[in-house]
Amino acid sequence: MNPLVSIQRGKSSKPPRVLCYGVEGIGKSTFGSQAPQAIFVPIEDGLGEISSDKFPLASTYDEVTAALASLRQEQHDYETVVIDSLDWLERLIWDKLCEQHGVYSIEKVDGGYSRGYTHALIYWREILHHLDSLRNQRGMVVVLIAHSKIESFKDPESSAYDRYSPRLHKHAAALLTEWCDVVGFATRRLRTQSEDAGFNRKRTIAHGLGAGGGERILRCVGSPACIAKNRYGINEELPLSWAAFVEALSRNPE
């Protein structure tokens, strides 16, 4: 068969794959629950105050994949699948690897030398295969929730600096951030102010803008402060809500 015959042209509109990460209590799970007809695959026990449908709390990797498989195989009306959270899922993946290799630590898998983290990518790709099937075959939006960490980044064009990133091993983080259409950092909008601390010293104080210690926002463009990206041309900071995200998508069609 001539491969030229199968060439396609134009845009292919599919539901977005969104990774939302940030500090504890910022509203990441609430953001996921606002997506249309959301169903959670909970791996950490933090949805008690959120009104949304959810599977039983998963305590093994196989329970997570079973939940995703059921969404693909069974009839339902759900339009969004939310995994909450990726960093807890990573622990289940490591547990499965340790059991498989008969060791007590991911550092000991396959003789050590960090090989365990590379082997873990096999299970991460299996998760992404399930999610791709839900997106492509069932038309479901994918929302992935993760906590944040502060890491040191060695920039080859400047001095090293600290930035926020998803709380995952670097191999898993690279795979997931590349796969997602949107990687959003959930944080608060703050302003800083220097004031006299006495004895010819200055101190910097951060003030929240708005009620509740600062407006909750979603950064969808990367900067030295955080890992973020999007494939929809969103250039501005958004309020941390699904409605604001959808509005930005309509202003910036793929």
When the pLDDT of each residue in the chain is averaged and rounded to a whole number, the result is 88
128-160: pLDDT as tens digits: 999 999 999 999 999 999 999 999 988 887 788
- pLDDT for the residue 192: 46
What confidence score (pLDDT) does residue 46 get? Answer: 79
Q: Output DSSP code: residue 109.
A: G
What does the alpha-carbon distance between residue 58 and residue 65 come to, in Å, rounded to a whole number?
Answer: 10
| pLDDT average, residue stretch 106-114 | 86
In this structure, whether the domain defined by 15-251 belongs to CATH 1.10.3470 is answered with no
User: At 111, is the pLDDT very low, low, confident or very high (cuts 50, 70, 90)?
Assistant: confident
What is the model's pLDDT at position 160?
85
Residue 121 clears pLDDT 90, i.e. is over it: yes
| CA dist., res. 251 & res. 245, Å (int) | 10
Query: 186 is written with which tokens?
Result: 């959930």
Burial class (CB in 10 A: 0-12, 13-18, 19+), 198: exposed
How is 136-186 classified by DSSP, letter by letter? HHH--EEEEEEEEEEEEE--TTS--EEEEEESS-HHHHHHHHHH-SEEEEE
Q: Could you tell me the pLDDT band of residue 162, with boundaries at 50, 70 and 90?
A: very high
Collapsing DSSP to helix, strand or coil, 192 comes out as strand
Tell me the mean pLDDT in the region 13-29.
95
pLDDT level of residue 81 (50, 70, 90 thresholds): very high
pLDDT at 97 over 80: yes
In the chain, pLDDT over 90 holds for what percent of residues? 74
**Across 27-31, average pLDDT:** 96
Helix (H, G, I), strand (E, B) or coil at 49: coil
